[in-house]
Structure 1
């Protein structure tokens, strides 16, 4: 039997919440792990997004958890480009159905932060959740998180 359970740890990046403004990102500490996948779940848009009223998901990295810089396309798996400021996903058109996206981090920094950056007017919030899956840990099996 294959055992993924003993080889991963989950970290809540954005708790399942309806947001109408920027979240306050907390650091994802990658120490002790060799891989990280960011899973982003977005519900039906609270508004009809456009290029003014939008949400951009920005991923930044740091060696010291103090000075953060935008990730580069060479740091991320699953995207063909990264926008200014580390934009890995943009909501700029109607979000009529819930979606799940995943982004692999292959950069060499210890810390990551994910910001849901809201621009324009958001009179109604949008359901968002993000989880980091930390894998290939140095201390397997990983602790249960049930």
Structure 2
């Protein structure tokens, strides 16, 4: 079996919570890593999502942790398209079962942020969590996180 564990670390992008409003994204610093995968977990929708009552996940990146810009399709693997504002995933229809989604980041900037951007009315929250798996570390093995 190959060792994936020793060459990566997990960084919180959206703290696990039941959200009904935008999160405040922490800064993900990729210094010392050559690869990043965003893993998004979404529980059963607290509402029936529509084009007006939705959650859009916006990925932004930065060289200096001060000026962030939206990623484009060239910066992300595993998505059909990236919408305006760096939208890598949008919940716009019923989300009746928990699901996990993943996106590879290949944009080359040092910092990332992932925003769960809520639009419309969300009287009941939706369970959401996200981590960035920073891989191909320069200083392996990476510290255990158990």
Do the two structures share a fold, i.e. TM-score over 0.5? yes
Separation (CA, whole Å) in 1 of partners of 2:91 and 2:5: 32
Separation (CA, whole Å) in 1 of partners of 2:118 and 2:13: 17
Separation (CA, whole Å) in 2 of partners of 1:2 and 1:56: 35
Tell me what 1:17 maps to: 17
Q: CA deviation at 1:12?
A: 1.1
Tell me what 1:58 maps to: 58
Tell me what 2:72 maps to: 72
- After superposition, the C-alpha distances for 1:48-67 in whole angstroms (9 at most, x for unaligned) are 00000000000000000000
- TM-score, with structure 2 as normaliser: 0.99
Q: 5+ residue gaps in structure 2?
A: none
Tell me what 1:105 maps to: 105
- After superposition, the C-alpha distances for 1:90-113 in whole angstroms (9 at most, x for unaligned) are 000000000100000001100000
Q: 5+ residue gaps in structure 1?
A: none
- After superposition, the C-alpha distances for 1:26-84 in whole angstroms (9 at most, x for unaligned) are 11000000000000000000000000000000000000000000000000000121011
Tell me what 2:142 maps to: 142
Separation (CA, whole Å) in 1 of partners of 2:77 and 2:94: 25
Separation (CA, whole Å) in 2 of partners of 1:121 and 1:2: 46
- TM-score, with structure 1 as normaliser: 0.99
Tell me what 1:125 maps to: 125
Separation (CA, whole Å) in 2 of partners of 1:37 and 1:48: 28
Superposed, which structure 2 residues align to 1:30-45 within 5 Å?
30-45=30-45
The CA RMSD measured in Å over matched residues stands at 0.5
**Where in structure 1 do 4 or more consecutive aligned residues deviate above 4 Å?**
none
Matched pairs, number? 146
